[in-house]
């Protein structure tokens, strides 16, 4: 039935009873994770199921840059089966970016442009899926859009492997990295233990976490009793004490035959400098770029003489959808769903947050928190989660971390490899005459 | 019923009809893998099912060193359930070592000691689970034990992630590393693709393979069409051509927005030197130890200016039982089983080998090959498996590699992590008065 065929009076009554639903804009922001697409999946599926309340979901190509440049992706062009597969696909399906809006007073052009683009495409909802910076942007835009007379409902959906957002018990993306690094440590530890008598005695794994040691702490879950890998954790929250560290490594090797170490990329020396930025230079005198694991390993070799190996997990850890935490996938998906419901309920200026009500059995639900209380803050490891000597995690920390890696959620495989979806990412036709240049 | 209660005549008849079965010695050798324990599992389960043909299976604690030092593990003390769990447990359950026997003429003491230990524990079978060196040792011992009047049936069971043993279509252990590096490359590639517009444009993953590029080649399986990660493979078989490499990276970034690279730890420069041994020095002027990925990344940065990330998989790749290839697990297990049957059939001086009879569908079976034809040889990538420009794999290579990563074989999980077995590893009581010092 063609709508145009209805009599004018009926059309008028309809449009009165049911105003045309406004579209939504969804953007991924900052470092991607194994499960950020699960949030996209929950959000798009939920929006589709509320047909009539929310129009189309447009995604930003490469995050907020897509909004600024009017480079929108029409997710309604994707079949339901493709959207469903986002749940098991790592990375950012629409592209992400590192781009932070300045305060309105300093850079009004970007805000004005966003409103222009949102108006042109009848966008009334802005879902921003990211970390600290993104929550700050969502917060600013929520305020400014209202002030400028085009109020947009702004909802933050948390995401960060660093687990450092405040206002939520944990961050989607972290549980899967935690599971990956803990099992990698366990597996590598078994390898080293097998060979230690005549080969490698010290193994160092470098993990992410520039300022907060949550991922390093997660490595500690692999050790369920004294003597199991990892033996030493080096947190960014604990100033590196070289002699205490070397003494710990020596004792561990003497007692157990080998020593495994997880080190945060953000480990700092007594001067507060990143260890990774000290020490090595290439043949031309340039500082070597990145890699604290080789530095720690080399220190052990020089001072204690032990044979070593080291690994740097880098992107492997945050893209490891093949071994994602089931809890993490479920939470990410449900946060996407809940964001849509919150928007429909008329909420704005809020972030969806995870609230834990019980450790054992693990129970949680979703609430909203004000973006104003979340933006730009950083949650580090509390001292009570780090053992007295600074080299491991406490029972309290285990209790907090353990549920987050719970359960497996394997992707489908094809020809021996995970079968991840690639969306068509069809563009929405541009409506504005002017283009916008990203600074 | 106690055997001693039988009349003497019956006992004599029994012992005539059925001589006391001789025990077996099993040792793991060299770098361990995600599936070497699956071979141990197949071997021990098969030996148990042939009760009366083979006595107990003693394992060497830390490989052949356990035999030399009379430090034997009594696997009969392990319950069937624990042995079964070896199939899903990485690393070397009895310990492994890097220790190569010299020729008899140069170091007779070790051979004499082995025979002394084997005699003392009535060992008539020697199963050696390892790579090139181990096949050489098994070969030498087979010959010498016969010459010295105490013939021991010597059977090699192949194992090496490097896939460089001759005489077998592929090596157990390789398929699982291949699967791990290919899926890691795919996952990391999706991460980089998401962010390339404003962040990392070049990603480098370093994988194992000092002399043969099989693992690097396996990374190539992740790319199923032009433009997918990985874009560039750097093989040890192909001399590193800096300018051709940089041109390739630049073209790839210009065409696809990003470039992902898999590099073998054994990449060499024009002088035949390992790249990882050139270039970087620490503040004291010492050469930096290991890590070709950071060197390659830094070269790209200096010459092309692209932002980069790099990862070094190291032990994570060869211990990654959590995502083992089902084909690899099955082959490893069945090679262990087949070794027992070959020994019972009276074979010696042979290695169990995999023979491929069809690519599609993949069909294979197990045969024996003479250790003499295998020992100390190394199988590199044929030139026909490497693309003309030297930076990728050919269709022939894909055809060879594809079946080896087939199928998933997940370990059991407990509290969110793989639940790997730790055996009791009860020692066999020593019978010899003299100890033996490992040189």
| 211-250 in chain A: CB under 8 A from chain B | 221-222
Q: Which residues face A274 on adjacent strands?
A: A268
Please state, in angstroms and rounded to a whole number, the distance separating the CA atoms of residues B199 and B309: 10
Helices (H), B257-353: 292-304, 315-318, 326-344
- Cβ contact (<8 Å) for A309 and B297? no
Residue B377: what pLDDT? 87
The shortest C-alpha distance from A419 to chain B (Å) reads: 10
Please state, in angstroms and rounded to a whole number, the distance separating the CA atoms of residues A314 and A45: 31
Residues 6+ apart with CB under 8 A from A126: A24, A25, A27, A118, A138, A141, A142, A152, A153, A154, A155
pLDDT at A186 over 70: yes
For residues B241 and B269, is the Cβ–Cβ distance under 8 A? no
A52-to-A8, A46, A161, B91 alpha-carbon distances in Å: 21, 12, 35, 56
Structure tokens at A429: 């036709």
Residues 6+ apart with CB under 8 A from B232: B245, B248, B249, B252, B259, B260, B261, B262, B391, B392
Chain A residues within 8 A of B95 when measuring between CB atoms? 193-195, 197
Residue A2: what pLDDT? 41
| Number of helices (H), then strands (E), in chain B | 13, 13
B371 touches chain A (CB under 8 A): no
Q: Which of B314, B321, B329 to mutate to test the interface with A (most CBs of A within 10 A)?
A: B314
Helices (H), B57-173: 64-68, 80-85, 108-120, 132-147
- Cβ contact (<8 Å) for A98 and B294? no
The shortest C-alpha distance from B35 to chain A (Å) reads: 11
Residue A377: what pLDDT? 87
- Cβ contact (<8 Å) for B98 and A179? no
CA-nearest residue of chain B to A278?
B283
Q: What is the mean pLDDT of each run of 10 residues along chain B (439 residues)?
A: 48 58 96 98 96 93 97 98 98 95 92 97 98 92 94 97 96 98 98 94 96 96 96 96 97 98 93 74 48 92 95 97 98 98 96 97 98 90 97 98 98 98 98 89
Please state, in angstroms and rounded to a whole number, the distance separating the CA atoms of residues A402 and A179: 9
A151 touches chain B (CB under 8 A): no
Please tell me the CATH code under which domain A19-162+325-376+409-418 is placed: 3.40.50.450
Please state, in angstroms and rounded to a whole number, the distance separating the CA atoms of residues A412 and B327: 17
Three-class DSSP category at A205? strand
Which of B62, B410, B417 faces A221 most closely, judged by CB atoms?
B417
A362 touches chain B (CB under 8 A): no
- Residue B129 sits at φ, ψ, to 5 deg, of -105, 95
Chain B residues within 8 A of A91 when measuring between CB atoms? 187, 190-191, 193-194
pTM of the model: 0.94
Provide the pLDDT confidence category of residue A157 given band limits of 50, 70 and 90: very high
Residue B282: what pLDDT? 45
Number of other CB atoms surrounding residue A271 within 10 Å? 7
For residues A340 and A22, is the Cβ–Cβ distance under 8 A? no
Structure tokens at A54: 């929310």
Which of B222, B298, B315 faces A191 most closely, judged by CB atoms?
B315
Please state, in angstroms and rounded to a whole number, the distance separating the CA atoms of residues B323 and B405: 10
Three-class DSSP category at B418? strand
Q: CA nearest B134: which of B23, B265, B26? A: B26
Domain A19-162+325-376+409-418 and domain A174-321 have a common topology = yes
Structure tokens at A243: 């002699």
- Cβ contact (<8 Å) for A294 and B297? no
B304 touches chain A (CB under 8 A): no
Q: CA nearest A45: which of A84, A5, A99, A92? A: A84
Query: What is the residue extent of each domain of chain A?
Result: 19-162+325-376+409-418, 174-321
Mean pLDDT rounded to a whole number for chain A: 92
A302 touches chain B (CB under 8 A): yes
- Cβ contact (<8 Å) for B319 and A191? yes
DSSP helix, strand, coil percent of chain B (3-state; round to 5) = 40, 20, 40
- Residue A287 sits at φ, ψ, to 5 deg, of -65, 140
| 175-194 in chain B: CB under 8 A from chain A | 179, 182-184, 186-188, 190-194
Residue B220: what pLDDT? 98
Chain B residues within 8 A of A420 when measuring between CB atoms? 186, 190
Residue A274: what pLDDT? 83
Tell me, what's the ipTM?
0.94
Please state, in angstroms and rounded to a whole number, the distance separating the CA atoms of residues A40 and B93: 43
Three-class DSSP category at A158? strand
Mean of pLDDT values over A208-232: 96
Residue B1: what pLDDT? 37
Residue A18: what pLDDT? 64
> Which position has the token pair 């011992």?
B141
> Which position has the token pair 């065929």?
A5
Residue B4: what pLDDT? 46
Look up B162 and say whether it is catalytic: yes
The shortest C-alpha distance from A105 to chain B (Å) reads: 24
pLDDT at A361 over 50: yes
Residue B289: what pLDDT? 47
Q: CA nearest A86: which of A415, A416, A412, A428? A: A412
Chain A residues within 8 A of B294 when measuring between CB atoms? 288-291, 294
End-to-end CA distance of chain A: 48
A432-to-A66, A112, A121, A145, B297 alpha-carbon distances in Å: 14, 13, 10, 19, 41
Mean of pLDDT values over A338-346: 97
Residue A364: what pLDDT? 98
Please state, in angstroms and rounded to a whole number, the distance separating the CA atoms of residues A396 and A401: 9
Please state, in angstroms and rounded to a whole number, the distance separating the CA atoms of residues B216 and A426: 35
B16-to-A64, A380, B12, B343 alpha-carbon distances in Å: 85, 75, 6, 21
Q: Which of A63, A307, A417 to mutate to test the interface with B (most CBs of B within 10 A)?
A: A417
Residue B272: what pLDDT? 83
> Which position has the token pair 């034990």?
B145
Please state, in angstroms and rounded to a whole number, the distance separating the CA atoms of residues B421 and B329: 16
What tens digit of pLDDT does each residue of A259-297 get?
Answer: 999 999 999 988 888 887 765 554 444 454 468 999 999
Helices (H), A173-220: 174-195, 214-219
Mean of pLDDT values over A413-436: 97
Please state, in angstroms and rounded to a whole number, the distance separating the CA atoms of residues A28 and B131: 47
Residue B8: what pLDDT? 58
Mean of pLDDT values over A226-234: 97
Residue A3: what pLDDT? 40
Please state, in angstroms and rounded to a whole number, the distance separating the CA atoms of residues A187 and A190: 5
A418 touches chain B (CB under 8 A): yes
Q: CA nearest A307: which of A200, A228, A182, A174? A: A200
- Would you state the CATH architecture of domain B174-321? 3-Layer(aba) Sandwich (3.40)
What tens digit of pLDDT does each residue of A22-67 get?
Answer: 999 999 999 999 999 999 999 999 999 987 899 999 999 999 999 9
Number of other CB atoms surrounding residue B251 within 10 Å? 12
Cα atoms found within 13 Å of the Cα of residue B423, Cβ hemisphere only:
31
pLDDT at A416 over 90: yes
């Amino acid at each position: 039935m063609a709508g145009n065929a209805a009599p004018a009076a009926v059309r008028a009554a309809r449009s009165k009873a049911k105003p045309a639903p406004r579209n939504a804009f969804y953007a991924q922001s900052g470092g991607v994770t194994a499960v950020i697409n699960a949030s996209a999946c929950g959000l798009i599926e939920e929006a589709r199921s509320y047909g009539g309340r929310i129009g189309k979901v447009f995604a930003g190509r490469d995050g907020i840059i897509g909004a600024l440049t009017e480079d929108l992706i029409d997710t309604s062009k994707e079949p339901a089966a493709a959207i469903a597969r986002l749940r098991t696909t790592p990375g950012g399906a629409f592209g992400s970016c590192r781009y932070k809006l300045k305060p309105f007073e300093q850079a009004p052009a970007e805000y004005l442009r966003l409103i222009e683009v949102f108006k042109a495409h009848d966008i009334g909802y802005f879902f921003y899926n990211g970390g600290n910076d993104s929550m700050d942007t969502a917060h600013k835009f929520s305020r400014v859009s209202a002030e400028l007379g085009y109020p947009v409902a702004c909802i933050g959906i948390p995401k960060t492997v660093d687990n450092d957002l405040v206002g939520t018990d944990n961050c989607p993306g972290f549980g899967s990295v935690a599971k990956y690094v803990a099992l990698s440590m366990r597996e590598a530890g078994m390898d080293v233990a097998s060979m230690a008598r005549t080969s490698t005695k010290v193994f160092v794994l470098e993990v992410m976490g520039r300022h907060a040691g949550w991922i390093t702490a997660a490595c500690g879950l692999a050790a369920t009793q004294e003597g199991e890998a990892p033996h030493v954790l080096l947190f960014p929250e604990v100033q590196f004490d070289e002699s205490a560290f070397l003494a710990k490594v020596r004792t561990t090797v003497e007692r157990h035959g080998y020593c495994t170490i997880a080190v945060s990329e953000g480990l700092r020396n007594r001067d507060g400098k990143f260890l990774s930025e000290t020490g090595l230079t290439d043949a031309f005198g340039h500082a070597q770029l990145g890699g604290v694991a080789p530095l720690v390993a080399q220190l052990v070799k020089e001072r204690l003489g032990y044979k070593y190996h080291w690994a740097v997990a880098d992107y492997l850890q945050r893209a490891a959808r093949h071994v994602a935490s089931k809890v993490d996938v479920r939470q990410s998906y449900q946060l996407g769903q809940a964001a849509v419901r919150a928007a429909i309920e008329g909420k704005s200026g809020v972030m969806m947050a995870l609230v834990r009500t019980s450790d054992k059995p693990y129970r949680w639900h979703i609430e909203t928190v004000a973006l104003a209380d979340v933006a730009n803050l950083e949650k580090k490891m509390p001292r009570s989660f780090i053992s007295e000597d600074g080299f491991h995690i406490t029972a309290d920390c285990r209790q907090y971390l353990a549920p987050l890696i719970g359960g497996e959620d394997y992707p489908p495989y094809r020809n021996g490899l995970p079968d991840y979806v690639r969306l068509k990412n069809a563009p929405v036709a541009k409506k504005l005459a002017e283009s916008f240049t990203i600074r």
